[in-house]
């Protein structure tokens, strides 16, 4: 076999592998598109189509003697907010508070839906965390 025919055979083999690779990936993409279309065609409610279900309340003010709370499973989007009879305890990862009134015992509702104790800082502004204001971190107030 000559050198030029050996190069041609290698070139054809490489192009053949590339063609098969592209063909295999193309059919997999077509199958997944078909599954998405089939799934979308059977969806009946807004939640199943990827749209969140509407909230029954916008704040705890909308709830007579209750709290506006949504279920949370750790993955967006949160569930629909509804009026419930119990407040959200501190750092409850199953419930999403809608407002501060939904949280128990003076907790505040953070932007991520967790009820947390209000942040107060150390109060003296020196940044050492001991609260005495002298900046040395020992808490005795002497510089």
**Among 123, 32, 107, 12, which Cα is nearest to 69's?**
107
The tokens of 35 are what? 């599954």
**Among 38, 105, 84, 142, which Cα is nearest to 95's?**
84
What is the distance between the alpha carbons of residues 109 and 43, in angstroms, rounded to a whole number?
Answer: 34
The tokens of 107 are what? 């907790």
What is the distance between the alpha carbons of residues 54 and 125, in angstroms, rounded to a whole number?
Answer: 44
Give me the pLDDT at residue 45, please. 46
Strands 67-71 vs 82-84: parallel, antiparallel or unpaired: antiparallel
In sequence order, what are the beta bridge partners of 70?
A: 96
Q: Look at the pTM and tell me if it is higher than 0.75.
A: no
The tokens of 106 are what? 């003076």
Give me the pLDDT at residue 3, please. 52
Provide the residue-wise pLDDT of the chain in tens; the chain has 143 residues.
Answer: 555 554 455 655 555 544 545 444 544 444 444 443 333 433 344 456 667 789 999 999 999 999 999 999 988 899 999 999 999 999 999 999 999 999 999 999 999 999 999 988 666 666 666 666 666 666 666 66
């Amino acid at each position: 076999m000559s050198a030029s025919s050996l190069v041609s055979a290698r070139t054809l083999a490489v192009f053949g592998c590339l063609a098969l690779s592209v063909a295999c990936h193309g059919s997999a993409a077509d199958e997944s598109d078909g599954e998405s279309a089939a799934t979308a065609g059977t969806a009946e409610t807004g939640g199943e189509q990827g749209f969140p279900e509407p909230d029954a309340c916008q704040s705890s003010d909308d709830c007579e003697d209750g709290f506006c709370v949504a279920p949370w499973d750790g993955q967006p989007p949160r569930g629909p907010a509804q009026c419930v009879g119990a407040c959200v305890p501190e750092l409850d990862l199953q419930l999403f508070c809608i407002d501060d009134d939904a949280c128990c015992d003076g907790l505040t509702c953070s932007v991520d839906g967790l009820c947390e104790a209000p942040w107060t800082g150390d109060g003296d502004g020196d940044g050492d965390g001991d609260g005495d204001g002298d900046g040395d971190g020992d808490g005795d107030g002497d510089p």
